[in-house]
Structure 1
């Protein structure tokens, strides 16, 4: 293993390597790339990572089209192996990532300024809005309504059944908070982001997932097929994790439109919804970080805040406030037992380990995205926002939406659980909104909110994949359009196959987390070493 300090000593050697990439330490000061003439150059077809990742996704889709039974068999076998073998490792990885990041933020390393500039490039509200909308998208609305009622109907094994129905509701919220709270946010935006920001902005390495293994492999991680395979694993993981929500958006919004307006719930409706989403997030990605993405995120945060305030005023206010306080208290009281629970592997594979695999798949690419928008932030700002503030806000959102559903269910048994039966996520949301004043208007606003959440994720991940493939901090329009459309079309193909296509992808997402989780491991010790060295260099 290459010693981290020794690796940094060869930074001068790698300067020539970094110079050959169009990535530079300061994207703002970089000269514009020479105009590329051919389509092959615009799509970065010479990058092996393009062929590894694109080829693998195409192979998955072709197998789904021509032999869905074989695909299902392979994916189910891979899923079972992944959760059984790597599930315990993922639980430890997420827990250690969170604890180490808190230690770095609390110590003198918290004052370290990341990104090589003294002042943030982006305003705090816009910065936080983009982070919230990008990372919350997969569970922002439908899971917030569905997961609490799922744990209420079938209590988590750690808590078990209880004769106190109020306590059952608190336990359900607490378990939901575990899955969408501190550990989930920490793995996608803390230690890996620190490593990426230092190696890219301070050492001049390319803005690609491969640099996460640079302290271990040295220049081998940057060159040839080794680096390309590292990038491809991370691209496949985040592409699968983005294609899934795009497909779910089509299915769930189509269901909701049928329930609200009797619009046929079929592939045609789903096609229109997904094509609309593709157009939105591709256009937003083309407009750049400072326009489309910031605008979408800002208005989505405003809409989400308005809906929270509305439900707080006109919904079960006391239950929401009490549920949040008790739910967070229960989470903190049972934090380590919940994080390390191994008593029911079947339950874990459907809940905790499943979510951990999904978030792990996002982590390297999300670290690149966060590194791109967080220049000039202190380490403490980064960790406190991604690992503390954002999780607490997410938990409150889950309490407002899902907690309202629990309150309605307690007052009128079956009013939410009946709609949720069969794991109907949009059914649970509509059952909640239908019991609020002006139910149709509120339901429509929630559908708009969901769409923008997914569009923001599609936008950010289209941009990030394009950065990694092209090696440019501002990729050309063609490569952004290609990856944006490719992910959307893949989602369309899979939902056209029925529930089996999306189910296969959902399980496949967990399989992709296996190699990605290995790439994340060195950050547990590299991030602290980097933070301490930066603190020393900055005279802290």
Structure 2
């Protein structure tokens, strides 16, 4: 199969549209960007206050619902992966389009993204110095180490990954490659609401809600990366960390991910992902060999045990049994963020997994990737914990003020290689955000056009739009980027309703694919 055939990929195409896509999806999505920026320019404090109120209400009232949705998604997905139906292949191909390394690289870079790298150093140390409510260990003590990392594993582990592309990817794969429906969030609701949804305005509203959630979730890391890199370059090499520097960083970042998105999955996206995985492996190897090796091995073993034994305690903790602010800013915030990304990530996973079995797709997303994430958090965050306990660094004050950019840089400088390692981690973080930018620009374009090979110009449009929004919000101050991050929790409300039916339509789609491919009989 040639690359051009791969890019146009399936019999399910609906025809390339000459415009930027569905006018309703485009109007609502761009309207949100313009409204948010315009309202912020008019009354920055009013916007931040309104979002903070909605954020607090959503976290308090719907936090448990978000948690249960993630729990159910993970366990149902694992059940599907272990069933005979999971031998069915995605996309009517006998062999995978992408090699296993390329495929896993894209999954890791797209889904872990800048958020995981951004929090990997600071979050475990935060949970060391502020004991999570699921544990009763003394803050800052050696006994608190396993609980600190286990809490980080909960936020970035099995539940988070499963909602990003397991059951929903199965539903979309069957609907798109077999039934000819477009790779759009509305397709997830088609088994419930029928054909009318696919052609009516409600479908456009559903798609727009999911696009807005991803725009909010992606602009945040893009903006925060600019502040993190400018801070890091100022501390390491003395470059000014003003708005001008941040704009240059944004421009470079945007040019990388826009060019990658325009070139497509087979070129820029997979090349950037593969380079980033190799860089991450090199950094991980240096940390493991020359860092506190024995401490990291022992800590990982013990923390993984704590993660498993305290799994349900952490996953079902509510604002009734834990401080409301803690739930709001940690577990519920992260879970809502992942829910917001869910539909578009599932589109991307379904798109890159042609030729893979359902079992391979689910296990890669819901098991292998989370385990790799826990290893990464242990290497970076575990090393930070070691240095915090030994007194080599002290991040208590910085983390109590949620200064995670300071934490990342401080831990990086304490690692073997010092300044060189810090610069390497800044580069890694930048490319992780770029891999999110390119894949989400691609996925938003797929949603907007209803076509799985959208025009490169459409991909560029969405990539540039997100960079411009980040630039404007940074000009107003990092607080507005933070307000946009809080808005993610609010957008998770409608998006969660799009994901919910996959709990039963996912297994149904897997059974249908297995029967169509002759793996299971109709009786």
TM-score w.r.t. the length of structure 1 is 0.92
Change in CA separation of 1:215 and 1:318 when aligned onto 2, cut-off 3 Å = same
C-alpha separation in 2, matches of 1:462 and 1:162: 45
C-alpha separation in 2, matches of 1:479 and 1:426: 33
User: How is 1:391-402 mapped onto 2 (pairs within 5 angstroms)?
Assistant: 391-402=370-381
C-alpha separation in 2, matches of 1:469 and 1:511: 22
- Report the counterpart of residue 408 of structure 1 in structure 2: 387
Match of 1:471 among 438, 445, 450: 450
Match of 2:150 among 174, 178, 184: 174
Whether the 8 Å CA contact 2:273–2:435 is kept in 1: the answer is: yes
1:28 aligns with 2:9: yes
Whether the 8 Å CA contact 1:25–1:201 is kept in 2: the answer is: no
- Report the counterpart of residue 330 of structure 2 in structure 1: 351
Q: How many angstroms does 1:33 deviate by?
A: 9.2
User: How is 1:217-236 mapped onto 2 (pairs within 5 angstroms)?
Assistant: 217-236=193-212
Q: Which deviates further from its counterpart, 395-404 or 25-34? A: 25-34
Whether the 8 Å CA contact 2:230–2:242 is kept in 1: the answer is: yes
Q: How many residues align?
A: 512
C-alpha separation in 2, matches of 1:188 and 1:101: 11
C-alpha separation in 2, matches of 1:219 and 1:25: 28
User: How is 1:523-534 mapped onto 2 (pairs within 5 angstroms)?
Assistant: 523-534=502-513
Match of 2:406 among 427, 431, 445: 427
Whether the 8 Å CA contact 2:253–2:430 is kept in 1: the answer is: yes
C-alpha separation in 1, matches of 2:133 and 2:16: 59
| Secondary structure, counterpart of 1:188 in structure 2 | coil
User: How is 1:121-132 mapped onto 2 (pairs within 5 angstroms)?
Assistant: 121-132=97-108
- Report the counterpart of residue 34 of structure 2 in structure 1: 58
Task: Name the Cα RMSD after superposition.
Answer: 1.9
Match of 1:327 among 279, 303, 319: 303
1:159 aligns with 2:135: yes
- Report the counterpart of residue 59 of structure 2 in structure 1: 83
| Secondary structure, counterpart of 2:213 in structure 1 | helix
TM-score w.r.t. the length of structure 2 is 0.94
Gaps of 5+ in 1: 1-23
Whether the 8 Å CA contact 2:340–2:495 is kept in 1: the answer is: yes
1:43 aligns with 2:20: yes
- Report the counterpart of residue 232 of structure 2 in structure 1: 256
1:93 aligns with 2:69: yes
C-alpha separation in 1, matches of 2:465 and 2:327: 32
- Report the counterpart of residue 86 of structure 2 in structure 1: 110
Q: Deviations over 1:336-392 (max 9, x none)?
A: 111111112321111000000100000000010111100111111011111111000
| Secondary structure, counterpart of 1:222 in structure 2 | helix
User: How is 1:125-204 mapped onto 2 (pairs within 5 angstroms)?
Assistant: 125-162=101-138, 165-204=141-180
- Report the counterpart of residue 539 of structure 1 in structure 2: 519
C-alpha separation in 1, matches of 2:257 and 2:228: 18
C-alpha separation in 2, matches of 1:112 and 1:486: 39
Gaps of 5+ in 2: none
Change in CA separation of 1:164 and 1:487 when aligned onto 2, cut-off 3 Å = closer
